[in-house]
Structure 1
Amino acid sequence: MTSVSTHTQYAQPDLSEDQVKTVTRSVGRKATITKEELFQAALNLIGSQKSIAALSLREVAREAGIAPNSFYRHFKDIDQLAIELINRAGLVLRHIIREARLRAIKQESIIRSSVEVFLQQLDADEGHLGLLLREGYTGSISYKQAVEQQLNFFQQELQEDLVRLEALNNSRLSHPEIVSVAITQLVFNMGAKVLDLPEKERRRTAEQTMLMIRMILEGARHLKNSE
């Protein structure tokens, strides 16, 4: 007598790549998560174009490999994460540009080193500068306010450096606080403009920006001498 197998084979459903990723992450969710990991997950998702305002809490949780409820251990909502990430980005960039200014010993080298470091960070800082530039122009009101606060910190530090350097060169600027505002806004506007430009056009724009900064400084010196 021939035995009949009672085992039935079921066809496995075809899953898309995104579905496979979702299943894998659901099975391998992390038990704990740090703020840094959530920040990195958000940066991964926004890339070079997307605004953080377009992210959902579930997207960030999935990218970080956690259950959505675990997100609330660190942030009350996506807006709080975004604002803290903007503040963190500003701190990272201020440190980098501060180091560049401290290494410079002449006025012209301060301008050049700061602008060049700023441009280098467009591609090398894991999205921090791009985040500040995008959210400062296209983000929500609260995001723009957070970016504005970071720009104020930049301006204050730049003003201190300019006053220090002018004193070393036996020179003074008229209204150094306004000069620092003008230079900061000029450099950040340049950054927003060159985000998607090829290297050659970035370099041309950077050289123009450095010339504008020198004009601002020379004008401020001349104005001080005529007061």
Structure 2
Amino acid sequence: MPAPDGPGRKPSIVREDLIAAALRLIGPHRSVSTLSLREVAREAGIAPNSFYRQFHDMDELAVALIDVAGESLRGIIGDARRRAVSGRSIVRGSLEAFMERLRADDKLLHVLLREGTVGSDAFKRAVDRQLHFFEDELRADLIRIAASQGLSFHRPDLVSRAITRLVFALGGTALDSPPERDEALVDELSQMIRMLLRGAHALSRDNAGGRERAPG
């Protein structure tokens, strides 16, 4: 068994331990980009030099954290799907799931909302990559839902991008707003998204010269 790096320090550590340590240090008002390597190492209970056995630098750790956060964010879509199956509106259901995660002090979600605006270029690219995954899943959902209802949307790729970026931007605003504003924000976002969907449906109908019914 390898000897510990020092008193009170762990003899071994894995990448997940450092990611968990970074998560414990950040919060709604502190970005991962403000963390130092020494802070994370101390929180993880290792010597600073041991950090380099898992990551080349703090940027690599931050990008790994953003990737984990992206998987968490996409889990919201899965929650929305389950709500829709039970008869809930997929729009309202997904927004409520988003706000629930936000108010549950979901630090992974906070990472995505913060690093896309205040992080380094590498962080922003990592966030953008995760949002593209989110958009791809939403686009597939839009196509599936439209087909099941005999509808179609013009450029579902653009619609999914617009919805994702809108929710992401207003989610960042919600972090600094009191929870009492959540219901009003969900109402506003629901209306905005329905407008986007109705507009995309109208464009598809006009381009096809058909008379499809408007989505409800």
1:132 to 112, 122, 141: 112
Tell me which residue corresponds to 2:159.
Answer: 179
SS of residue paired to 1:104: helix
- 1:2-23 Cα shifts (integer Å, max 9, x gaps): xxxxxxxxxxxxxxxxxxxxxx
Decide whether aligned partners of structure 1 residues 133 and 60 sit closer, same or farther in structure 2, where only a CA change above 3 A counts.
same
Q: How does 1:1-227 map to 2 (within 5 A)?
A: 27-105=7-85, 109-124=89-104, 126-227=106-207
Offset of residue 108 of structure 1: 6.8
* % identical equivalent positions: 50
Change over 3 Å in CA distance of 1:160–1:125 after alignment to 2: farther
**Structure 1 residues 52 and 67: alpha-carbon distance in aligned structure 2, compared to 1, 3 A threshold:** same
Distance change in 2, residues 1:34/1:123 (3 Å): farther
Contact 1:179 1:217 in 2 (8 A): yes
Greater C-alpha radius of gyration? 1
Contact 1:43-1:126 within 8 A present in 2 as well: no
Partners of 1:54 and 1:143 lie apart in 2 by 12
CA contact (8 A) 1:190 1:206 kept: no
* Alignment RMSD: 1.8
User: CA-to-partner distance for each residue in 1:14-46, whole Å, 9 max, x for gaps?
Assistant: xxxxxxxxxxxx631111112222111111112
Letter in 2 for 1:184: T
TM-score, length basis structure 1: 0.85
SS in 2 for 1:72: helix
Moved over 3 A (4+): 105-108
Q: How many residues align?
A: 203
CA drift at 1:207: 0.9
Structure 1 residues 106, 156: closer, same or farther in 2, change over 3 A? farther
Provide the TM-score with structure 2 as the length reference: 0.89
For the residue of structure 2 that corresponds to 1:132, the secondary structure is helix
Q: Which runs of 5+ in 1 are unaligned?
A: 1-25
Structure 1 residues 147-156 or 47-56, which shifts more?
Answer: 47-56
In structure 2, the gaps of 5 or more residues are 1-5, 208-216
Residue 99 of structure 1 and its aligned partner are, at CA, apart by 3.4
**Cα-to-partner distance string for 1:164-210 (whole Å, 9 max, x where unaligned):** 00000000001111100110011101100100211221221111001
Return the alpha-carbon distance in structure 1 between the equivalents of residues 87 and 204 of structure 2.
17
